Structure formats: C-alpha cells, structure tokens
Amino acid sequence: MKAIVLKTFGGPEALTLMEIPKPEPGPDDILIRVMATALNRADLLERQGHYPPPGKAPVHQVPGLECAGIVDAVGDRVTLFSPGDSVMALLPGGGYAEYAVIHERLAMPVPKGLPVQEAAAIPEVFLTAFDALYNQGGAHPGYRVLVHAGASGVGSAAIQLAHQVAMPVMTTVGSQLKVEAVRAFGADRVVNYRQEGFLDAVQAWTQGKGVDAILDFVGQAYLQDNLKALAADGTLVLIGALSGYEAHINLGVVQARRLKIHGTALRSRAFEKKVALVQQFIKEAIPLFESGRVKPVIDRVYPLRDIADAHRYMESNQNIGKILIEVSQDA
C-alpha cells in the first residue's frame, strides 16, 4: 500500500510517499481502507522527531493519529464491526496510509448523515475536547469556560461541546479572521490576544469572579494569567504547551483558591482507559453529530501526495479547524 513514511526527522520534506506492506489485522482488530485522515499539531512534533509513537519503534514510522474509512477485513474475534461498515478511529499512528489497523473497541461508527471523509476530522480533537471538558473540566450548566486557541482543531470542538451543556464560552484567537470564525462556532466572548489581554477580559466578563474552567494549549506563557483567571475551585485542563513546558507557579494561589491543574494526553493513555473514553463518546457524543448539533470544522482538504504542503499550512497557524487529507487508492 502507499503510505507517508518518516525516513528521517526534520522539515515537511521528511514526509516520504512510498510503498510499504499492508498491515494485517490481529484477532481483535479491524482493517480499515482509509478514505481520509487528518492533521494534528502533534504530527508536526513527530515529524521533527520529538513525539515517538508508543511502544516498540515500527519498521516504517507512518504518522497519522486518526482516520475514517470502510472496514475491509476483520479479525477472528471481532464482533462489533463487519466488512463494509463506515468507521472512524483514533490511532496510535499509521493514519497517513491507504490502510490502517485498530482494535475494534477503539473504532467508532461514522455518525449517520455525515460523509465518511469528513468523519476523519472528529476522533482526535473531539475526543480530546470531550474528555477535557466533560470528564476533567467538571462541565456544568452555567459554568463559564475559557478555551484558548479557539480556532484550533481542539478549540473548535471544545466551543461547540461547551454549548451542549449550556456553558458560556470565552475564547482567545490570534487574528481577526479567526474572531469571526469562532463566533460562528458559538463563542460568547472572543479575545484577539494580539489586541487585548485575556486576564482583563475574563475579569470583566465574569464581574471579577473568574472562570470555572480553562482548556489550555499554550502552557508556559499563559500559566500565571490562567491561574489568576480561574474562579475559586476552578480547573485548568492542560492539553498542550505550545509556548513551552517550564513555568513558575505560585502555589499559594493554587492552595488558597482550591484550584485544580489537570494534565491530559490521549496517545499515551492505557488501552482500557482509551476504550472507556471511546465507548463513552459513542454513547454521548455521536448523537450530537447525528442531530447536527455539533459538526467537524474542516478548513482545507489536501491529497495524500501533498502532505508536506498540509504540514506547512498548519505550521503557519492559519488553519481554522481541521486540515483533512484525502486518501484515494491512487494516492
């Protein structure tokens, strides 16, 4: 099959289209004929050699944390899916390819009514946002949440999901174009951080009380202000650290105001925990897509052979929502 392989680490030119053996499904696995995959910020790090796949190093390192497609074959013990089913899945890697293999309990049906390709924009960012908001962020009607990088893949998912539980959302973005976009996702208050600081904006928006939860991808540069922006008993969910991981923290603020700092990572999570999240998502979130209450946000679609251009586009921080990669049998 054709796949994008990391033969070396480095810039987008390190992404090499080549023929490699098709993966074989184990007894509990399904083999997916991939119709689309999607980019995630972590793919850029993996390409640079900073985000190795879990477990033993593969013979061919194929990035790609998610895909959507059609079940091509199933292992002997598989009961949940059959050949011909439309599925989407969170992958430990291997999504930039014509075929991918995944344990049946980590695969999800494509929401009814959604084109299969579009479903590739769901697994990584919606599972992350769903888990961060509903399981770790203590989602509750009326609680106020601050979502940083609201136009990112995860941010665009989080804003929509917050609305489903009647949580007012403030979000930060880095351009005027993104201000308009996140309003359309349902953000109640938008801060263009190039024009105003989010801390003052939070204080004004909450009459000095602070927000109940923050979903953050920025880390180092925002930590001090994030802690000041939280209400007493509030939760900071750290999903990424795009500005860096090292930060000075005033423990007095954390202790006196009973704050919680919750780190999260999907890829390294134990199998049973991943399965539990995927099964919870199938039950609670897929109906939201089927009723049209939430939608994957797709910015651009590239063919697999133009994957380097797709990486350059994400690196330029211009994308609003997801960058989809269409995988056809002639790549």
Residues of this chain that interact with ligand NAP (CB under 6 A) are 40-42, 124-125, 128, 149, 151-154, 173-175, 178, 217-218, 239-240, 242-243, 264-266, 314, 317, 319
Instruction: Return the number of other C-beta atoms located less than 10 Å from residue 24's C-beta.
Output: 11
Residue with smaller CB distance to ligand NAP, 74 or 310: 310
Residue with smaller CB distance to ligand NAP, 86 or 136: 136
Q: Report how far residue 189's alpha carbon sits from residue 202's, in angstroms, rounded to the nearest whole number.
A: 9
Residue with smaller CB distance to ligand NAP, 1 or 202: 202
Q: Report how far residue 236's alpha carbon sits from residue 48's, in angstroms, rounded to the nearest whole number.
A: 28
Rounded to a whole number of angstroms, the minimum distance from the CB of residue 175 to ligand NAP is 6
Rounded to a whole number of angstroms, the minimum distance from the CB of residue 91 to ligand NAP is 13
Rounded to a whole number of angstroms, the minimum distance from the CB of residue 74 to ligand NAP is 28
Rounded to a whole number of angstroms, the minimum distance from the CB of residue 239 to ligand NAP is 5
Residue with smaller CB distance to ligand NAP, 40 or 226: 40
Asked if residue 294 lies in contact with residue 267, where contact means CB atoms within 8 angstroms, the answer is: no
The residue of the chain with the least Cβ separation from ligand NAP equals 240
Rounded to a whole number of angstroms, the minimum distance from the CB of residue 42 to ligand NAP is 5
Residue with smaller CB distance to ligand NAP, 169 or 239: 239
Rounded to a whole number of angstroms, the minimum distance from the CB of residue 90 to ligand NAP is 10
What residues are paired with 69 via a beta bridge? 34, 87
Residue with smaller CB distance to ligand NAP, 42 or 331: 42
Residue with smaller CB distance to ligand NAP, 167 or 241: 241
Query: 154: closest CA among 291, 296, 308?
Result: 296
Rounded to a whole number of angstroms, the minimum distance from the CB of residue 328 to ligand NAP is 24
Q: Report how far residue 35's alpha carbon sits from residue 261's, in angstroms, rounded to the nearest whole number.
A: 38
Token pair 């014509």 in the structure block, residue? 98
